[in-house]
């Protein structure tokens, strides 16, 4: 019996032995395989034109040694040349992938694109993102057989690069954050293999061409932050495989077409700031994979459909700044696992559900028309739920805090009101030229209400796609300052940031006209020729609900990053409250220097009266008058009592005298 089992064991041992020997032989061949000499020469030319100084040609580029394979500390910091060494029986290598992303500062690529990339016949993936490459895309690239190409975060310019439409093998294409302009050409329809197309943050114009309907393999389409015209086309219904669709701040008009109902694989839908006519809620009832649903300021009116509450995979819901009415659907009680709910800036009514008030995850229902009930909160919570101005103006109950009421009314008497306000936004208390700026160090901001001594702020939103556990709402300077004194620099070292909406309130101010100064400085982007200088921060500013700055770009207005800028306005306070609202309308870059860097940024706020405020002496005189009047009144009262008691003589004669005094 033992001999019977001995033969299979022997065969197994022989198989293992020969397999092991074959593996060692293959590894040995691969170890001796080198990059084809022609491609080595091509890499030398590419490296010279790019200014790539760390490529050491004393080492074979396919060896995986030296600087040919470098992984950064963070995602997107790569400098790799990847080879396939299985050619000619594992004896020859060819370059199949090149990543030069976010190059080291000393090697920041600021050249034009080398045509020689087209001479690497086996190159399939090319990533040159987050550099400072200029010019256009060489026509020689039309012969390439790329599958993936990323030029995100550069300074390439000109019309849409039609040369790319000849690379019909492309599956993933990103030219996000460049300076391309003009219309999308109809030739885009030739790229029928595309699965990912990212055109965001350029200056493209015109309507989305009908030829995009041919791209039926798309799973990821992003066109945010452009200057398109026309309506969202019906042909988006052709993209039945799409999972991610971003159309934010790109000047497209509504309504969202009903054909969107065919996109049943959607998991990430972001459409914001639409122009044009109002519309009812789009048909999304079949979106069972939805994780991120953002329909912000899309001119949507009517009630929120109850089926939203049954989206089991939903994590982020943003329906803010529409014209939604009715109550929060009862089905929303099912959204316990949703991390972020934003219903800000609508006309929702009814009572705020108890499950929402008790959430330990972020929810913002500020600026609505809810009805206050005895079980409703009497003051604004400070934590994960924001209720600022959430109750109807018709609720005049004195028992609830003014922050809950529309327009944040002041309950103080006129003689208890203020006439000065100075805030160092995001910073510590500071004294600048004799003026004290109050500290503003609250770290939270997703759905946050903060109440200071005579001011407050309401912050809404989270920074998307930044892959961090906790968002940062206070930015610290990373750009070199210029044209600024040392005392003033205290106001610009930090700033409060917002990914969506930020409102500062001046509370219980005396009625009258004020000079409001908004202090800005771009402290994240830089002035050098690196990808850090390519960011654009664009937002709107409202004062007393009136638009005063539209598509405002701090850096452009100031003439560069790190330069202070003060914008002055006259604001009329008529009911004791000053309201300054900062809003991100989907414009500007969102991925420079990192994902999640965008939205309003404010360094400091100063509010000074345009009228002569009451002096301390005036207050003392007023107090003296009040005291004297009280003493006189008490004296008269004492005399009256004494007279009634007869302590001042005969009552009869006294009565006659008093009667003669009032009735002569």
For residues 464 and 548, state if they share a domain: yes
pLDDT at 61 over 60: yes
What's the pLDDT band for 416 if we cut at 50, 70, 90? confident
For the purposes of burial, counting CB atoms within 10 Å of the CB of 592, is it exposed (0-12), middle (13-18) or buried (19 or more)? buried
CA distance linking residue 491 with residue 477, whole number of Å: 11
Give the confidence band of 576 by pLDDT, cuts at 50, 70, 90. Answer: very high
CATH of the domain at 106: 3.80.10.10
Q: How far apart are CA 382 and CA 507, in angstroms?
A: 18
Under the banding of pLDDT at 50, 70 and 90, the label for residue 180 is: very high
pTM of the shown model: 0.87
pLDDT at 662 over 60: no
Show Cβ contacts of residue 286 under 8 Å, excluding neighbours closer than 6 positions.
261, 264
Cα 439 from Cα 496, distance rounded (Å): 12
User: Is residue 217 packed enough to be buried (19+ CB in 10 Å), middle (13-18) or exposed (0-12)?
Assistant: middle
Q: Which CATH number do you get for residue 494?
A: 2.60.120.430
Which residues span the domain enclosing 14?
A: 1-32
pLDDT interval class at 660 (50, 70, 90): very low
CA distance 308 to 331: 8
Q: How far apart are CA 603 and CA 565, in angstroms?
A: 10
Is pLDDT at 23 greater than 50 in this prediction? no
Q: Tell me: the pLDDT tens digits for 235-290? A: 999 999 999 999 999 999 999 999 999 999 999 999 999 999 999 999 999 999 99
411 found inside a domain: no
For the chain, how many structural domains are there in total? Answer: 5
User: Is 580 part of any domain?
Assistant: yes
Q: Sorting pLDDT into bands at 50, 70 and 90, what band is 529? A: confident
Q: Is the CB of residue 429 less than 8 Å from the CB of residue 435? A: no
Residue 44 sits in the same domain as residue 193: yes
**Residues 455 and 478 grouped into a single domain:** yes
Q: Which band of pLDDT confidence, cut at 50, 70 and 90, is reported for residue 638?
A: low
Q: Do residues 240 and 336 both lie within one domain?
A: no
Asked if the structure places residue 319 within a domain, the reply is yes
Dmax (CA) for the chain in angstroms is 148
Does residue 646 sit in the same domain as residue 574? no
CA atoms within 13 A on the CB side of 502: 23
Tokens encoding 583:
């809003």
- C-alpha Rg value of the chain to the nearest Å: 34
The last residue of a domain, from among 384, 406, 428? 406
Q: Is there a single domain that holds both residue 158 and residue 233?
A: yes
Bridge pairing between strands 203-206 and 268-272: unpaired
Residues 6+ positions from 84 with CB-CB distance below 8 Å: 93, 94, 96, 122
DSSP SS3 for 3? helix
- Cα torsion at 353, 359, 365, 370 (round to 10°)? 20
For strand 125-127 and strand 447-451, is the pairing parallel, antiparallel, or unpaired? unpaired
Strand 512-520 and strand 501-506: the pairing is unpaired
| 15 and 123 part of one domain | no
* pLDDT, tens digit (0-9, with 9 covering 90-100), for 192-219: 999 999 999 999 999 999 999 999 999 9
Whether 269 and 345 share a structural domain: no
Per-residue tokens: 628? 């004297």
pLDDT of residue 395: 61
- Determine if residue 257 is left, alpha or beta; phi over 0 gives left, psi from -120 to 50 gives alpha, anything else beta: beta
Residue 48 has pLDDT above 80, yes or no: yes
Q: Please list, in sequence order, all residues whose beta carbon lies within 8 angstroms of the beta carbon of residue 92, skipping any fewer than 6 positions away.
A: 33, 34, 36, 85
Q: What is the pLDDT of residues 276-301, one digit of tens each?
A: 999 999 999 999 999 999 999 999 99
Q: Give domain status of residue 190, yes or no.
A: yes
Do both 100 and 4 map to the same domain?
A: no
Q: Closest Cα partner for 155 from 201, 123, 117?
A: 201
For residue 464 the two structure tokens come to: 């998307």
Asked whether residue 344 is domain-assigned, the answer is yes
Instruction: Determine the Cα–Cα distance for residues 99 and 129; give it in Å rounded to an integer.
Output: 8
Residues 159 and 307 in one domain: yes
Q: How far apart are CA 619 and CA 602, in angstroms?
A: 35
In a domain, 321, yes or no: yes
Residue carrying the six token digits 């219980």: 508
Identify whether residues 100 and 163 lie together within a single domain: yes
3-state secondary structure of 115: helix
- Do 425 and 402 share a structural domain? no
Residues 203, 298: Cα–Cα separation, whole Å:
21
Q: Is position 420 within any domain?
A: yes
């Amino acid at each position: 019996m033992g001999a019977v089992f001995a033969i299979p064991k022997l065969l197994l041992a022989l198989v293992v032995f020969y397999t092991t020997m074959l593996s060692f032989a293959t590894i040995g061949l691969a170890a001796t395989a080198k990059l084809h000499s022609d491609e080595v020469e091509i890499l030398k030319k590419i490296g010279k034109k790019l200014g790539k100084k760390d490529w050491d040609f004393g080492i074979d580029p396919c060896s995986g040694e030296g600087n040919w394979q470098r992984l950064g500390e963070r995602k997107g910091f790569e400098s790799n040349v990847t080879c396939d060494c299985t050619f000619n029986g594992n004896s020859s290598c060819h370059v199949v992938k090149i990543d030069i992303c976010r190059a080291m500062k000393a090697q920041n690529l600021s050249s034009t694109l080398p045509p020689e990339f087209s001479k690497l016949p086996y190159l399939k993936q090319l990533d040159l993102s987050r550099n400072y490459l200029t010019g256009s895309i060489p026509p020689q690239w039309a012969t390439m057989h790329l599958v993936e190409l990323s030029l995100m975060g550069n300074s390439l310019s000109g019309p849409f690069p039609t040369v790319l439409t000849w690379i019909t093998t492309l599956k993933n294409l990103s030219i996000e954050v460049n300076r391309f302009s003009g219309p999308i050409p109809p030739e885009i329809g030739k790229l029928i293999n595309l699965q990912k197309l990212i055109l965001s943050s350029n200056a493209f114009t015109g309507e989305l061409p009908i030829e995009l309907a041919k791209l039926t393999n798309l799973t990821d389409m992003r066109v945010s932050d452009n200057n398109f015209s026309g309506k969202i086309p019906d042909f988006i219904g052709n993209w039945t495989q799409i999972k991610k669709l971003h159309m934010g701040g790109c000047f497209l008009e509504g309504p969202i077409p009903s054909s969107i109902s065919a996109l049943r694989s959607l998991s990430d839908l972001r459409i914001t700031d639409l122009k044009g006519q109002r519309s009812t809620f789009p048909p999304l009832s079949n979106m069972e994979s939805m994780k991120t649903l953002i329909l912000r300021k899309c001119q949507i009116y009517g009630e929120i459909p109850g089926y939203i509450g049954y989206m089991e995979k939903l994590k982020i819901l943003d329906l803010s700044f529409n014209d939604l009415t009715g109550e929060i659907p009862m089905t929303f009680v099912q959204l316990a696992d949703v991390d972020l709910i934003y219903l800000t800036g609508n006309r929702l009514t009814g009572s705020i559900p108890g499950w929402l008030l008790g959430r330990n995850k972020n929810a913002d229902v500020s600026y609505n028309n809810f009805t206050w009930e005895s079980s409703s909160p009497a003051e604004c919570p400070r934590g994960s739920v924001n209720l600022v101005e959430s109750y109807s103006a018709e609720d005049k109950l004195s028992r609830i805090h003014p922050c809950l009421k529309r327009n944040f009314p002041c309950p103080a008497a006129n003689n208890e009101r203020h006439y000065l306000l100075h805030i160092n936004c995001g910073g510590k208390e500071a004294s600048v030229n004799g003026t004290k700026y109050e500290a503003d160090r609250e770290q939270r901001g997703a759905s946050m209400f903060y109440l200071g001594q005579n001011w407050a702020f309401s912050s809404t939103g989270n920074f998307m796609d930044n892959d961090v556990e906790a968002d940062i709402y206070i930015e610290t300077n990373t750009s070199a300052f210029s044209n600024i004194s040392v005392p003033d620099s205290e106001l610009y070292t930090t700033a409060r940031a917002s990914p969506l909406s930020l409102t500062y309130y001046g509370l219980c101010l005396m009625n009258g006209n004020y000079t409001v100064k908004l202090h800005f400085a771009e402290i994240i982007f830089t002035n050098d020729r690196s990808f850090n200088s390519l960011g654009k921060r664009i937002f709107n500013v409202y004062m007393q609900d009136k638009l005063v700055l539209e598509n405002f770009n701090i850096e452009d207005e100031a003439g560069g990053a790190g330069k202070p800028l003060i914008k002055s306005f006259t604001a009329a306070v008529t009911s004791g409250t000053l309201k300054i609202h900062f809003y991100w309308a989907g414009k500007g870059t969102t991925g420079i220097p990192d994902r999640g860097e965008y939205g309003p940024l404010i360094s400091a706020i100063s509010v000074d009266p345009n009228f002569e405020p009451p002096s301390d002496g005036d207050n003392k005189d007023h107090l003296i008058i009040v005291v004297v009047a009280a003493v006189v009144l008490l004296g008269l009262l004492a005399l009256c009592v004494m007279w009634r008691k007869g302590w001042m003589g005969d009552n009869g004669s006294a009565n006659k005298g008093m009667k003669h005094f009032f009735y002569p």
